[in-house]
Amino acid sequence: MIPELSNASVFMKDPQRVQEILESMLKAGSNTLQVISDFDMTLTRFAYNGKRCPTCHNIVEHSSLISSDCTEKLKELLNYYYPIEIDSSRPVEEKIPLMVEWWTKAHKLLVDQRIKKDMLAVVVRESEVMLREGYQLFFNHLHEHSIPLLIFSAGIGDILEEIILQAGVFHSNVKVFSNYMDFDETGLLTAFKGELIHIYNKREGALLNTGHFQELRTRPNVLLLGDSLGDLNMADGVQDMENILKIGFLNDKVEERKQSYLDTYDVVLVKDETMEVPNAIMLYLTGNK
Ligand code: TMP
Ligand code: MG
């Protein structure tokens, strides 16, 4: 098998099944492969030197774009709703209205701050956001092999794009589904566009984008990367799926959540801040072992 799957951070409920999926995907060839990944805390680091790294929302929250009063209010929302997001004892149905509440309140607070579009690049540059170690290989290799990468994020699309742009990896094979800001003709934030994507409605988001999955119908093999149980539905729009390998980063509240991750993700990466395992799998599937 792939040697990196023996790393100390890797946990699998059924290694034999992982092996079978990988073999079947390898046999089908990398021209049948597509990658679907979450962004915050999946492609970006959860922590660095013991300190939490920011999500797209946190970048704005900690920036000079908004008043200290607004920062405070966003922090209060985070402190209240984030523990609910990751609480494995509450059913998802119960969490959905609360997540809608969180995102709606946060976006309303941001819209009231008259944020300027041309400042986004500056706040991203000044932020402490970090893509996971090994991200260059991940993005560049997928691009070189013309494998489509869909980044499916409940974060903020404008911030996310700026992060991968500044990192030099916003290649032509990358497509983003996310919450995008809407600016008026003077470049001031007035609203968020389209249907809200929150942590537990990625299935609905996927089903709204049938055009994208229709274009990729010759790629029925999926590598999925996420860090939340809500990310498991990101591939629900894929047509005539043949194989899917789900890789889940378990960053926080490991003991409480480990079993639910093992039951739903094929490969679970516990407190692993790198792309080492996804990269090894990607190299295997593209014949570069
Ligand atoms: P993701 O789908 O790219 O992982 O983005 C969703 C993350 O954003 C989720 O873990 C919660 C986080 N978030 C904040 O940090 N602050 C906020 O105000 C909101 C609404 C979400
Ligand atoms: Mg995430």
**Ligand that lies nearest to the alpha carbon of residue 178, given by its number in the listed order:** 1
The domain boundary, picked from 105, 126, 147, lies at: 126
149 and 236 assigned to the same domain? yes
- In terms of pTM, does the model score above 0.95? yes
Local confidence band at 288 (pLDDT 50, 70, 90 cut-offs): confident
Question: What digits encode the pLDDT tens for the residues 137-178?
Answer: 999 999 999 999 999 999 999 999 999 999 999 999 999 999
For residue 262, the one-letter residue type is L
Cα distance between residue 120 and residue 173, in whole Å: 23
The domain boundary, picked from 107, 126, 145, lies at: 126
Tell me, yes or no, if 38 is annotated catalytic: yes
The domain boundary, picked from 85, 103, 126, lies at: 126
Give Cα 88 to chain centroid, integer Å. 19
> Residue 141's closest CA among 259, 30, 59?
30
118 and 41 assigned to the same domain? no
CA 285 / ligand 1 centre spacing (Å): 30
Please say if the pLDDT value at position 222 is more than 70. Answer: yes
Within 6 Å (CB) of ligand 1, which residues are found?
A: 38-41, 55, 57-58, 74, 77-78, 102-103, 106, 153-155, 199
234 and 222 assigned to the same domain? yes
Range of the domain at 71: 51-126
CA 193 / ligand 1 centre spacing (Å): 17
Q: What is the pLDDT of residue 1?
A: 82
Three-state secondary structure call for residue 232: helix
39 and 167 assigned to the same domain? yes
**Which position among 14, 40, 69, 231 bears the catalytic label?**
40
Alpha helical stretches, state H, 157-253: 157-166, 202-208, 210-215
Residue 84 near residue 289 (C-beta atoms within 8 A): no
Residue 129 near residue 53 (C-beta atoms within 8 A): yes
149 and 233 assigned to the same domain? yes
55 and 43 assigned to the same domain? no
Tell me, yes or no, if 40 is annotated catalytic: yes
76 and 20 assigned to the same domain? no
Q: What is the pLDDT of residue 121?
A: 97
107 and 156 assigned to the same domain? no
36 and 19 assigned to the same domain? yes
User: Which residue's C-alpha comes closest to atom 10 of ligand 1?
Assistant: 40
Please say if the pLDDT value at position 289 is more than 60. Answer: no
CA 5 / ligand 1 centre spacing (Å): 29
120 and 211 assigned to the same domain? no
16 and 91 assigned to the same domain? no
Question: What digits encode the pLDDT tens for the residues 4-42?
Answer: 999 999 999 999 999 999 999 999 999 999 999 999 999
Return the best residue to mutate from 39, 42, 56 for the ligand 1 pocket (most ligand atoms within 8 A of CB). 56
Number of structural domains, the chain?
Answer: 2
Q: How crowded is residue 59: how many other Cβ atoms within 10 Å of its Cβ?
A: 25
CA 101 / ligand 2 centre spacing (Å): 18
Return the best residue to mutate from 39, 40, 161, 202 for the ligand 1 pocket (most ligand atoms within 8 A of CB). 40
**Ligand that lies nearest to the alpha carbon of residue 100, given by its number in the listed order:** 1
CA distances 151 to 26, 67, 205, Å, are 23, 30, 12
Tokens describing residue 16:
């034999």
266 and 241 assigned to the same domain? yes
User: Which atom of ligand 1 lies nearest, measured to the CA of 202?
Assistant: 2
Which single residue is written with the structure tokens 């609480």?
87
CA 14 / ligand 1 centre spacing (Å): 30
> Could you tell me the CATH number of the domain that includes residue 57?
1.10.150.340
Question: What digits encode the pLDDT tens for the residues 189-205?
Answer: 999 999 999 999 999 99
> Could you tell me the CATH number of the domain that includes residue 26?
3.40.50.1000
User: Which residue's C-alpha comes closest to atom 17 of ligand 1?
Assistant: 57
CA distances 199 to 52, 81, 203, 287, Å, are 19, 12, 10, 34
